[in-house]
Amino acid sequence: MSYPIKAKISEIIKHYITCPYEDCKAEGEEGPGSITHLLDCDTSFGPWYCKKCHRGIFGDIMKGEIFLHFPNERQKEMGMDSSKPSLVLLRLDPLPQSLFLVVKGIMHGDKIDHENNAYYYNEHTCPTNYLQDAEVVIIGKDNDPHGLFEYVKSVPHPGEDVEVHNMDIEELAKLFNIDGAIITGAKELPNNETKFICSPTKEA
């Protein structure tokens, strides 16, 4: 018979920038973002955008100290002073070489259940579940393949109450204002001057 044991709580510390705008001051994940991965180096960053007020900041890290800067006039003219949530449609074309991902998984005991893993990844789980845990993306001899996905189009985010992850192909096509056959692969992208399927519009 097994008995309950008292849980020990461990703490993993992440360092976040507090939004410097006086009327916001968002902290943690609501703010501009985590700075943990940059603390050991002298570098510059930005624009980073607060997830609450959506305004931009720039920063410098020197000898462990972080200095923030508000966007200057030129950066404001370039639209770097603020942001809005959006959705981005990307495309992965058939590749001449296999694409490999290394993702975080689990195992029970010292033995790996390959049959169960095959069922889990091949049939059961949604790719959005493991893509957020991707450690490495590999194609050929490149373990950091920039430009792997091709940009297609962006639209303003329809709102946090809209369950985008539950949309079917027709709903997604309507959201991005494109032909659903392009998403399914039944139709090629228009052969125009750019490979973007959208002409410049206010929402693109």
User: Where are the chain's structural domains?
Assistant: 16-83, 84-204
Arithmetic mean of pLDDT over the chain: 80
State residue 13's pLDDT score. Answer: 84
Gap between the Cα atoms of 79 and 83, Å rounded = 8
Kindly state the tokens that stand for 59.
């920063």
Determine what percent of the chain is predicted with pLDDT higher than 70.
87
- For 32-69, write each residue's pLDDT tens digit: 988 888 888 899 998 999 989 999 999 999 988 999 99
Look at residue 20 and tell me whether its pLDDT is greater than 90: yes
Confidence of residue 187 (pLDDT cuts 50, 70, 90): low
State residue 62's pLDDT score. Answer: 92
Distances (CA, A) of 203 to 8, 52, 109, 152: 49, 21, 51, 13
Kindly state the tokens that stand for 142.
């490149």
Kindly state the tokens that stand for 66.
């972080």
Q: What is the pTM of this model?
A: 0.57
Kindly state the tokens that stand for 32.
């501009």
Q: Among 6-10, 170-174, 195-199, which stretch is predicted with the lowest mean pLDDT?
A: 195-199
User: Beta strand pairing status for 33-34 and 16-17?
Assistant: antiparallel
Confidence of residue 150 (pLDDT cuts 50, 70, 90): confident
Look at residue 201 and tell me whether its pLDDT is greater than 50: no
Determine what percent of the chain is predicted with pLDDT higher than 90.
23
Pairwise pLDDT comparison (182 vs 71), residue with the higher score: 71
Confidence of residue 193 (pLDDT cuts 50, 70, 90): very low
Look at residue 9 and tell me whether its pLDDT is greater than 80: yes
Nearest CA to 88 among 149, 163, 170?
A: 149
